[in-house]
Amino acid sequence: MNILGFEIDRRKTVFLAIFALLSLALYQVKFSTILGVPSQSFTLFQLVGPISAGVLGPVLGVVSVLSVEVLNFLISGKALDPITLVRFFPMAFAALYFGSKNRLTAIPAAVCMLLFWLSPVGAQAWYYALYWLIPIGASFYKDNLLARSLGATFTAHAIGSVAFLYAFSIPAEVWATLIPVVAVERLTFAAGIALSYYAINTLADLASTRAKFDFSFLNVERKYALFRAKD
């Protein structure tokens, strides 16, 4: 199927829909409360959202993430306020970072650093934004799964943090106390993203080589398949 010059594989579309529904289910499982903003929580979606662009490609991966965000918004019945609207995008940029080998995916993190420092509160806790040097540095190592995972989760962190900085009255002292929490939180997310990617590549590899399912329409990276099956 060709739409406006963009070729869409029907099998990819079906996989996108299935992946989006599974991700939506994981979105309902709260992982931890966002410190400083008790009304907001992280969910298991943070562990699987970025890998959609790894298997579907950057474009459909971002479409998948945004579809999940919109569906979750409709289900939740929340009002479409600015902070809710902005929260649609951290995982979309994380997916783009994870699914693309282009170093330009580090630009959002750099822009977020600048926006953070331009805020009077952010300027007082300027060192907090140094975390976003991670996706910039990791962009030079896109062939490394851990680097991609760290870059993706810290890209989401950068966009979400800047949104909360400008939306809520979070004092500089709170940003300072969050520094060790962020380290543990993002290392956990990065590990979850990497493990999820190993899982989906392993399943796709086994299904294609043993059950003879055709997964050639996906970007399966067999080097990340555990118990790799022989051709």
- Tokens 């490394």 correspond to 144
Distance CA 224, CA 221 (A): 6
Question: 3-state DSSP call for residue 31?
Answer: strand
User: Is the model's pLDDT at 95 over the cut of 70?
Assistant: yes
Residue 148: predicted pLDDT? 96
The stretches of the chain forming alpha helices (DSSP H) are 10-27, 45-48, 51-56, 58-76, 82-86, 90-99, 107-118, 120-124, 133-138, 145-167, 172-209
Residue 155: predicted pLDDT? 97
pTM above 0.75, yes or no: yes
Backbone angles phi, psi at 13, to 5 degrees: -65, -40
User: Is the model's pLDDT at 38 over the cut of 70?
Assistant: no
Q: Can you tell me the mean pLDDT for 92-121? A: 96
Position with higher pLDDT, 154 vs 79: 154
Q: C-alpha dihedral over 147, 193, 134, 58, to 10 degrees?
A: 80
Domains of the chain: 2-224 (1.10.1760.20)
Burial class, 174, CB count within 10 angstroms (exposed 0-12 / middle 13-18 / buried 19+): middle
CB 204 within 8 A of CB 231: no
CA nearest to 38, candidates 177, 125, 155, 164:
164
